[in-house]
Structure 1
Amino acid sequence: MLLDTPICDFGWKAPNFTLKDAFGETFTLSEQLGEKGLLIVFICNHCPYVQRIGHRLAEDAKLLMAEGINVLAIMSNDYDNVPSDSPENMKLFSAQYGFTFPYLIDKDQSIAKQYGAVCTPDFFGFNNTGELQYRGRLDDAKMADAQNRVSEMINAMRLIAKTGQGPEQQTPSMGCSIKWRT
């Protein structure tokens, strides 16, 4: 099911969490919230929207991380019912697209629920005090050719790093619905 993300709730405070990646390493939001902010993106392996932006996401995340903005990805799908989203497949997916950021497992889906994540990809850009400032899309290329794209997410995160505030105008991300446990 195709969904759009809700409008940014500016100033909403990020709930803290501790999650592991597919290799068993632990990451905590409070430790990842750097002085220039943090981007969290909810993704999964099987979604065609995520697959289409996978390389662009990896490139954009590398740029942000080089500028001191931290990046985390979280997989919240019910991988018991969608085996392609399993932790083992997360390792393969991360390697395939060249992710250099942690790709975390939200097995009980509590983090996706706390954050109000609705689709993959779903971007959350936080300032250095953990206040939500971006809930938009990666770029304007959508599912099309990305050669002349405008990276709205990079521009937003750079603005947040510089001023603590996100852009007033944001275009929602769109993607597949999160596969909730029943």
Structure 2
Amino acid sequence: MANTPSTMIPLGTIAPDFYLRDTNSNNSFSFEDCRGEKGTVVFFICNHCPFVLHVIEEMIRIVNDYRVQGIGFVAISSNDIIKYPQDGPEQMTEFAYNNDFEFPYLFDVSQEVAKAYQAACTPDFYLFDDLNKLVYRGQMDDSRPDNGVSVSGSDLRSAIDGVVSGRGINPEQKPSIGCNVKWK
């Protein structure tokens, strides 16, 4: 497993727009289509990464806990499917179904969206406020496969709580760690 950290783009960055196909519905979605009234979380994930598999259950719990509070969610996979066919659209559909995704799982075939977000690893998390400004980027929590720390989602949950309640979010944020995005 590679241990690639997030690039940690500047807080305050406006969410880069996208228009990508959802592997669940075959509809296409923009950032605006996915955004929530209070904020939006963009996940860069893939189907096979052990870091993603390690946190997927908590990721789904976070979605279920906060979507009813005005937070929108969208997952994006940008991996090169020639070298990593297990991350192709058909497999994404199956992965989303098996993990009860009730949010879009978009395929970034050109990898332009990952470049616009400066996504570096899977999972990579971005939280935008109601003005589409980046207020959090980085890790879900301190847990990693085989480090013995329980998955809690504490860092991401704390940031989302800040957006939902309108309070400040600690600008000291830790990068996510995961497998590198598989570039073409």
TM-score, with length taken from structure 2 = 0.91
Q: Where does 1:16-95 land on structure 2 (aligned, <5 Å)?
A: 16-22=17-23, 23-95=25-97
Give ranges in structure 1 of 5+ residues lacking alignment: none
Q: Number of residues paired by the alignment?
A: 181
Matched, 1:9 2:10: yes
Runs of 4+ in 1 over 4 A off after TM superposition: 144-148
Whether the 8 Å contact between 1:128 and 1:164 is mirrored in structure 2 is no
> How many Å separate the matches in 1 of 2:17 and 2:99?
27
Match of 2:179 among 145, 153, 176: 176
* CA displacement, residues 149-178 of structure 1 (integer Å, 9 cap, x when unaligned): 352111101202332753222121100000
Give ranges in structure 2 of 5+ residues lacking alignment: none
> How many Å separate the matches in 1 of 2:167 and 2:12?
10
> How many Å separate the matches in 1 of 2:149 and 2:97?
21
Q: Where does 1:123-142 land on structure 2 (aligned, <5 Å)?
A: 123-142=125-144
TM-score, with length taken from structure 1 = 0.92
Identity rate, percent: 35
RMSD (CA atoms): 1.7
User: Which residue identity does 2:128 align to in structure 1?
Assistant: F
Whether the 8 Å contact between 2:58 and 2:153 is mirrored in structure 1 is no
Summarize the Cα distance change of 1:148–1:19 in structure 2 as closer, same or farther, 3 Å threshold.
closer
* CA displacement, residues 106-147 of structure 1 (integer Å, 9 cap, x when unaligned): 000000001100000000100011111111211232225665
Q: How big is the shift at 1:41?
A: 0.6
Whether the 8 Å contact between 1:36 and 1:161 is mirrored in structure 2 is yes
Secondary structure (helix, strand or coil) at the match of 2:156 reads helix
For structure 1, which segment, 37-46 or 160-169, has the greater mean C-alpha deviation from structure 2 after superposition? 160-169
* CA displacement, residues 8-30 of structure 1 (integer Å, 9 cap, x when unaligned): 51101112111111131111102
Summarize the Cα distance change of 1:86–1:159 in structure 2 as closer, same or farther, 3 Å threshold.
same
Q: Aligned residue for 1:159? A: 162
> How many Å separate the matches in 2 of 1:83 and 1:148?
28
Whether the 8 Å contact between 1:38 and 1:70 is mirrored in structure 2 is yes
